[in-house]
Chain A
């Protein structure tokens, strides 16, 4: 059993939540690790109310502007859920599924469908993956996105059948082109009517299909059952969970342990996650600080770090996330965001710096004010060490950066904090303390270490 201490608690929270506040860490450490995982991280919760009544409105043609506005509203709504997730990892799993069973609003067009799909992921966030996959087969957004609704019984469209195998369940190299064609036939018959999917028997291909060596007049559900009979499927999903939560290069021995649990639980997600987060493997110090934060982890996490809750501008945040290449509801393609180093380019890295500067100072690059900013003096004073400059640098950097800063780094930061004054004269009461603190936090959040969690 792993030691349940500050470092491990921060590691767990950083990976399972969109960042965390000091209160979240205190809560986690007030109980045992298994209790925290079972009763908080993986607890079931009621579904949140929708962003608005438009989610039930039937799609209207030529609604380009309205669709765009509503996509922003849906994204604002979701970022709000992330920010207010508490210590439940449900939203993390919703994003995991969104990035696994990918649909893009740019093809789906109507945000209503993306909302319905998003709630499907939320409902099944820690549920049964076989059940979820069957639901995704006939999810309206997916039927539109991968052309399932246009899949004709006599001339099948392979788009969904291929990605179901390649990206959603078993992974490339474990099926044949023939399996794709047969799956495409079995998946015929479904169309979208209003906001619902409907089965039309006349459009269903009733031929005998041969799929993974089995013969029968299979339908989409049976195809999914057969895929989950293959041992490789559990490995494929567990590898993806491992990459999301542990490290982007997998440890195949450990993945095999996860896969065994996943299979034995008949593909329930909760047991395999509980196993992972209670394992010694997860807490190995080599993984700490080894994940490059996703844009949503980076942005939402920064707000949580600073306890920013009031007057937030969700639209600004969702645009910022887009600029950093994570446009919620619109992943780059059907394979989703690749994560880790793909988040960082010579453009996105400096953009991250500009965004944290703005959050700290309340001012955007173009000079326009944000509706929120860090109230820097009271915030600094909320740290025990606020009146002792060197300790303050140490305490804040331990909380902001999971990758431990070198002594040289801390000294540089201390110099930034003091800028012109001397250590014995440091006080948050002194003139210019707010300017110095702003400069300090800007420098701290610009560090490459802050991009890691």
Chain B
């Protein structure tokens, strides 16, 4: 039985349903809770909606073609904030300049994809779903990541929202085949007030066209009810350690920071900054958007640093496309293709990734040709920040992509204190066997065991002294009851765990 079927056969709604005769409120066991990590990595995504003009964001200050094609819009060389021999940042990006100099910003150049689509909507869908230009996927890549991280959702909902989007309408980025993976609100307190009078409801809707829509409505309603308290408590408990700019993005990142500081365990946050579709009179409008962006990100990064979360939290920006090199006749620019992307945090390598685009080699429309596929950035984040293994990344993104040097090589290298790493088993859920991988940095005393939902050890998969290197253990679940298990790796007395779901 595949995972989707499995979940559909169960009810979509949280509550009193049973999984193969076992109560599904598994996380309530204190042992289980203590085994659960509480310092999962966090990714904050800032979407620049409308198509950010890459050339006036990261300016090729030594390229005469740029100045020839943009007689009225080009950023003068002397005004740009020079960060390398041939590149300057838009003068409004002082915040980025500072982060770049501190080594907390990786700038990936020439990011795009084959056969670029210049429609806002199609290209946004492509970026959100990690599709090829001619491929149509409905799940968001972050949604797919979350469904891998929380494989038994929606049958089982984690105690904290998996993802949070600041806003009102949910982005497709957070959709997965398991449903909507994100909680959407403007502010924690307003959210609590709204949901205060609502009640949960466990009726299973009929499986008809309209019944599917009802099921969707009920899932959203039950999520908002489920998370109202934890959002309010963490939002109230959390504090900003720096002052944020009073812009919309600044205020949104201030809320994200409070939630993280207050202990919310969501692993993805999304905010959307619109207005980048600058077809006419773009200079001032674009400049102030960039200022809003850079000032807000700088404050957020400083805040994370002060909290000691500089490594734990990483920020990524993206936009559906860059803009045409040629300015148009209305002091603006039309839809283009590849553009730079930014990744921030203490764990990034910092500096430039990829070459500055060659403006003498344009496509037939007059747009730059991409160098780095946008999914390489996703893959790098998934591997080096979020700790996914290559098979999981392939499942999330649909293909394998070459990892870019955005982060300091990988999790282990960037965290010298980490002596071992347990990866998520694959496949998961599984119904016969699954593979568990782990890595040891040095020779260690190791125990790999399986724990059921009551906290009882049901199997020991490996035990003894092992030398450094990667290990792979295949677990055969034929003789075990369906349900949720924790895979626990103990190395020299330290523990790490992953959830596994066995279906029958």
State the A residues within 8 Å of B (CB).
146-147, 150-152, 154-159, 162, 166-167, 172, 177, 247, 286-292, 325, 332-335, 340-351, 353-354, 357, 365, 403, 406, 408-409, 446, 448-449, 451-452
Task: For residue A206, give the distance in angstroms from its CB to the closest CB of chain B.
Answer: 16
Q: Chain B residues near A365: list those with CB within 8 A.
A: 193
Partner of B214, one of A334, A353, A449: A449
Partner of B203, one of A151, A166, A406: A406
B208 CB-CB contact with A under 8 Å: yes
With A157-B279, A345-B169 given, can you name 15 additional A-B contacts, CB distance below 8 Å?
A150-B280, A159-B280, A159-B334, A172-B121, A172-B122, A177-B118, A287-B210, A290-B209, A325-B168, A333-B274, A340-B213, A346-B220, A347-B184, A347-B186, A347-B191
B31 CB-CB contact with A under 8 Å: no
> Judging by beta carbons under 8 Å apart, are B209 and A157 in contact?
no
- The count of residues in chain B whose C-beta lies closer than 8 Å to any C-beta of chain A is 51
Q: How far is the CA of A146 from the CA of B203 in the complex (A)?
A: 47
Q: How far is the CA of A341 from the CA of B171 in the complex (A)?
A: 11
- Nearest A residue to B172 via CB reads A342
> Judging by beta carbons under 8 Å apart, are B330 and A354 in contact?
no
- With A289-B210, A409-B203 given, is the CB distance from A448 to B279 under 8 Å? no
Q: Chain B residues near A158: list those with CB within 8 A.
A: 279, 328, 334-335
Binds A, one of B221-229, B236-244, B458-466: B221-229
> Judging by beta carbons under 8 Å apart, are A150 and B365 in contact?
no
- Nearest A residue to B184 via CB reads A345
- Nearest B residue to A408 via CB reads B203
B316 CB-CB contact with A under 8 Å: no
- Nearest B residue to A342 via CB reads B169
What are 18 contact pairs spanning A and B, CB under 8 A?
A: A146-B279, A147-B279, A147-B330, A150-B281, A150-B329, A156-B328, A159-B334, A177-B364, A335-B121, A342-B169, A343-B169, A345-B168, A345-B170, A346-B170, A346-B191, A347-B185, A448-B217, A448-B218
Q: How far is the CA of A345 from the CA of B224 in the complex (A)?
A: 9
> Judging by beta carbons under 8 Å apart, are B330 and A157 in contact?
yes
One digit per residue, 1 when the CB lies within 8 angstroms of any chain A CB and 0 when it does not, for chain B 161-189 equals 00000001110000000000011111000
Q: How far is the CA of A375 from the CA of B218 in the complex (A)?
A: 30
Q: How far is the CA of A290 from the CA of B224 in the complex (A)?
A: 22
State the total of A-B contacts with C-beta under 8 angstroms: 144
Q: How far is the CA of A268 from the CA of B90 in the complex (A)?
A: 51
**Which residues of chain B from 127 to 142 have any CB-CB distance to chain A below 8 Å in the complex?**
none
Minimum-distance CB pairs A-B, first 8: A152-B329, A155-B329, A150-B330, A448-B217, A290-B210, A346-B224, A345-B184, A350-B194
B29 CB-CB contact with A under 8 Å: no
Task: For residue B42, give the distance in angstroms from its CB to the closest CB of chain A.
Answer: 19
Q: How far is the CA of A354 from the CA of B221 in the complex (A)?
A: 13
Q: Chain B residues near A177: list those with CB within 8 A.
A: 118, 364-365
> Judging by beta carbons under 8 Å apart, are A403 and B210 in contact?
yes
- Nearest B residue to A447 via CB reads B201
Task: For residue B373, give the distance in angstroms from its CB to the closest CB of chain A.
Answer: 21
Q: How far is the CA of A340 from the CA of B120 in the complex (A)?
A: 20
- With A292-B217, A348-B169, A452-B210 given, is the CB distance from A147 to B194 under 8 Å? no
> Judging by beta carbons under 8 Å apart, are A350 and B195 in contact?
yes
- With A406-B203, A408-B203 given, is the CB distance from A348 to B279 under 8 Å? no
> Judging by beta carbons under 8 Å apart, are A334 and B120 in contact?
yes
Partner of A157, one of B183, B208, B216, B328: B328
Task: For residue B134, give the distance in angstroms from its CB to the closest CB of chain A.
Answer: 10
Which of A154, A286, A292, A344 has the most B CB atoms < 10 Å from its CB? A344
Task: For residue A347, give the distance in angstroms from its CB to the closest CB of chain B.
Answer: 5
Q: How far is the CA of A354 from the CA of B224 in the complex (A)?
A: 14
